[in-house]
C-alpha cells in the first residue's frame, strides 16, 4: 500500500509539472525571424557506468529566444520563458508525423525549420518544411510564464 501511494505521488509530480503551449505557424515564424542570431551553448552530461563516472560536454548553436508569445491550455495569451529542456513539436501535414526539436536549437534555414533532437549527439538534426507544418506545440517541464497584456 505504501509503495502504491509513493508511486502515485511520483507519477503526479513527474507528469503534473509539464505543460503544452500552442501557437500558429505564422505567429511562430514572426517571432523566430527576430531571434536568428546564433550563439554557442554548452551542454554537460554525466553518466554512471560500472567503470565509474563519465562526463560529456558538447557544443551546439543556440538561438537567443528568451521568451515566446503563445497560448496556454486555457487558451490564454502568455509569455513562455523556455529553458534547455523545452521542446518544439511540429506536426507534418503530409505524413502526420511529430518532429521534435529542442527549442533553443531551432533556426529558420530557407524554406525549412532545422533543430537538434539530441545535444549529446549534435548530428541528430531534425527538419521540417515550413509549408508542411500543420500544428506547433511547445512542451515545457516546470514552465515559467507571464500573462501577456496584448492581443495577437
Confidence of residue 139 (pLDDT cuts 50, 70, 90): very high
Query: Quick one: which H or E segment has residue 88?
Result: strand 87-92
pTM of the model: 0.77
pLDDT tens sequence across 83-133: 989 999 999 999 999 999 999 999 999 899 999 998 777 788 999 999 999
Between the CA of residue 144 and those of 10, 27, 68, 72, what are the distances in Å? 21, 20, 11, 12
Q: Determine whether 138 is exposed, middle or buried from the number of CB atoms within 10 Å of its CB (0-12, 13-18, 19+).
A: buried
The CA R_g of the chain, rounded to the nearest whole Å, is 17
Q: What is the DSSP letter of 132?
A: G
The Cα 64–Cα 92 span in angstroms is 25
pLDDT tens sequence across 41-68: 765 555 555 655 666 677 788 888 899 9
Amino acid at each position: 500500500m505504501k509503495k502504491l501511494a509513493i508511486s502515485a505521488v511520483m507519477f503526479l509530480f513527474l507528469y503534473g509539472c509539464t505543460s503544452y503551449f500552442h501557437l500558429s505557424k505564422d505567429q511562430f515564424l514572426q517571432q523566430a525571424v527576430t531571434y536568428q542570431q546564433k550563439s554557442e551553448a554548452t551542454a554537460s552530461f554525466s553518466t554512471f557506468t560500472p567503470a565509474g563516472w563519465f562526463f560529456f560536454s558538447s557544443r551546439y548553436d543556440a538561438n537567443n529566444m528568451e521568451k515566446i508569445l503563445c497560448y496556454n491550455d486555457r487558451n490564454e495569451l502568455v509569455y513562455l520563458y523556455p529553458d534547455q529542456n523545452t521542446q518544439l513539436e511540429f506536426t507534418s501535414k503530409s505524413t502526420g508525423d511529430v518532429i521534435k526539436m529542442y527549442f533553443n536549437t531551432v533556426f529558420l534555414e530557407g524554406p525549412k525549420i532545422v533543430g537538434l533532437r539530441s545535444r549529446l549527439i549534435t548530428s541528430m538534426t531534425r527538419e521540417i518544411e515550413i509549408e508542411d507544418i500543420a500544428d506547433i506545440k511547445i512542451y515545457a517541464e516546470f514552465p515559467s510564464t507571464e500573462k501577456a497584456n496584448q492581443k495577437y
